[in-house]
Chains A and B, each alone.
Chain A
Amino acid sequence: MDIIKVEICIGTPCYLMGARELIEEMRKVETEHIDKIKLKTAHCIDDCCDKAPVAKVDNQIYEDLTPDKLREIVLKKIK
């Protein structure tokens, strides 16, 4: 199975709106599913700052995320 690429935006708006919590959640997923995801941070993803926090999972952009929403998206991909 391919490794899932998760890119979390840590620009000012995304960070203020909870990017840190997204990183924390993904770190947990990373330890639960070793070698299944590749975590990265980015400065800005597609200029959609008004829908922060934003992340890209396998090249698809997800907006208005919460840690639970992102976990669900990533876990679906893993399964």
Chain B
Amino acid sequence: MGLVIDEFYQSVAKHGQEVCGDNVEIIKNDNETIVVLSDGLGSGIKANILSTLTSKIAVGLIDKKLPLIEIIETVLATLPICEVREIAYSTLAVLRLKQDGTTQIIEIDTPSIFLARDGQIKKIEMKKREMWGKTVCEAEIKLDQDDRLFMVSDGVIHAGIGALLDFGLGWHGFARHLKDVLERYCDLENIIEKLVDICLAYYLMEPGDDFTVLGLGFRKERELTMLSGPPQDSKKDEEVVFELLEGPGRKVVSGGTTASIVARELNQKVESTFDYYDKEVPPIMKINGMDLVTEGLLTLNKTADYLDNHKQGQLYPKGKDGAAQMVRMLLSSDYIKMIVGRAMNESHQSLNLPLELGIRTQVMNRIAKSLKKLNKEVEIVWY
């Protein structure tokens, strides 16, 4: 099983602001991941627009496969300069990580990146050059399998100002916490969450600045096989369940009738629960040997909604309902095999459901499309 690049980030807005002035854009090509982190001057809508503008310009140019330094030059030339303070409105950090570990880093006015290697947190040595009146720091390193990189906006370095600390947490202060968290947690998503909690604590839960923590590294590829819907030909029930069992990785079943078929073929029982956490999503079920068993259409439609709004690198939804659990399963997998039965469900015909809600093939296609956009490999087998 191969290695894939895993990345997570969380941005927190300044206390009292509705939007965050930091913006993260992540694009994934065949064998590389490009991350752009931008922090707009000030906070609120203005900062948000400026950082979005900066990161979108950068990502747009990177997508056109131009050399990184040329892109930075273009962005610098385009960035508006504040007339009063005579500084650029937005900071920029760009990272390009290739599948073989080659990493190119460019930073402008942003805290140095943190390299976690062999249990230590290191600062990467940067080459500096002047460009459009700005100091551009560049570095190229080779990332090992167990290394991790962390990028932050200056809100992290200043964490605590106006609250617990006079001069803020600082680069070394954050590095100390990062080392502690890495010793205790392994999962990158957890690590980011804990780091954000630490910064929030220094700010006494009322951040004096927008802040972002982003981490990336390698992890082993994960697979998942999902079965939804009974096959058109009921004689193929056994074949479908066999295909599910033979499929790679974790196993997910969606649909009440489908769950009954799986349970019957496996000589198991479907155990129903009645704890619902989201009013729109029916409770999950349990079958011995399956990782997740949910209701069908309502859960799948909610899953599709979640996925439509998910941005690459964002933390997964935390809910305990069937749809949130399914989203977490799907997003944490890299290869997803969907086995979809196309039998008409007579019971749904009496409900006069809207067309797009009632047709399983449509919602499964919608889920597959969103997953492909998030760079997942999806295979659909129709029955």
A interface residue numbers (CB < 8 A to B): 8, 10-13, 15-17, 19-20, 23, 39-44, 47, 49-50, 52
Contact = CB atoms under 8 A, between A and B. Distances in A.
A13 B270 contact: no
Contact of A10 (B283, B348, B350): B283
Interface residues of B, number: 23
Interface in B259-282: 259-260, 270, 272-274, 276, 279, 282
30 contacts: A10-B295, A11-B256, A11-B347, A12-B256, A12-B282, A12-B295, A12-B296, A12-B348, A12-B351, A13-B347, A16-B351, A17-B351, A20-B282, A23-B276, A39-B274, A40-B272, A41-B273, A41-B283, A42-B272, A43-B256, A43-B259, A43-B260, A43-B270, A43-B272, A44-B256, A44-B347, A47-B347, A49-B350, A50-B350, A52-B351
Which 4 pairs show the lowest CB-CB distances between chains A and B? Answer: A49-B347, A50-B350, A43-B256, A41-B272
A49 B349 CA distance: 9
B283 A12 contact: no
Contacts of B273: 41
A76 to B, nearest CB: 23
B293 to A, nearest CB: 10
Interface in B279-303: 279, 282-283, 285, 295-298
A50 B348 CA distance: 8
Contacts of A16: 298, 351
Nearest to A51: B350
A66 B143 CA distance: 61
Interface of B: 256-257, 259-260, 270, 272-274, 276, 279, 282-283, 285, 295-298, 345-348, 350-351
B256 A8 contact: no
A10 B274 contact: yes
Contacts of A39: 274
A49 B257 CA distance: 12
Contacts of A12: 256, 282, 295-298, 345, 347-348, 351
Contacts of B276: 20, 23
Contact of A20 (B256, B279, B347, B348): B279
Contacts of A52: 350-351
Contacts of B260: 43-44
Given A11-B256, A44-B257, A47-B347, A23 B274 contact: yes
A17 B282 CA distance: 12
Contacts of B347: 11-13, 44, 47, 49-50
